[in-house]
Amino acid sequence: MSKKVLIPLAQGFEEAEFIGIADVLKRAKELNPDLEVVIASLNSELLVKGANSISIKADCSIEDVDIENLDAIALAGGFEGMMNLKNSNVILNIIKQL
């Protein structure tokens, strides 16, 4: 049975934390091909700028994610990024569902 993990990217995320999370999960996918890692921006803009002005391109927008089939969510820190995640009703609903 496949497992789906969401990594949401919010403006101001901490790049080093995101890279660490994404790296570990992508390596885990190599061991378990049934693991799906979805990197999603909080809006329609896929390029998301981190706390240190490094931009990462998300796979999709959070609007395109099948929220009902998520198994986990992994959040990268960064003060501005966490504030943006905290202010997202979509993210709060996902956390409540999980």
Tokens of 8: 């949401």
- We report the CATH number of the domain holding residue 21 as 3.40.50.880
What pTM was computed for the model?
0.94
**Average pLDDT for consecutive 10-residue bins of the chain (98 residues)?**
94 98 95 96 97 98 96 96 97 96
SS3 69: helix
Query: 18 CB contacts (<8 Å, ≥6 apart)?
Result: 7, 9, 50, 56, 76
How many domains does the chain divide into? 1
pLDDT for the residue 31: 93
Structural domain span for residue 92: 3-97
Which of 8, 14, 86 has its CA nearest to residue 54? 14
State residue 16's pLDDT score. 97
Instruction: Note the helical H segments in 38-88.
Output: 79-86
pLDDT of residue 82: 97
Q: Alpha-carbon distance 67 to 46, whole Å?
A: 18
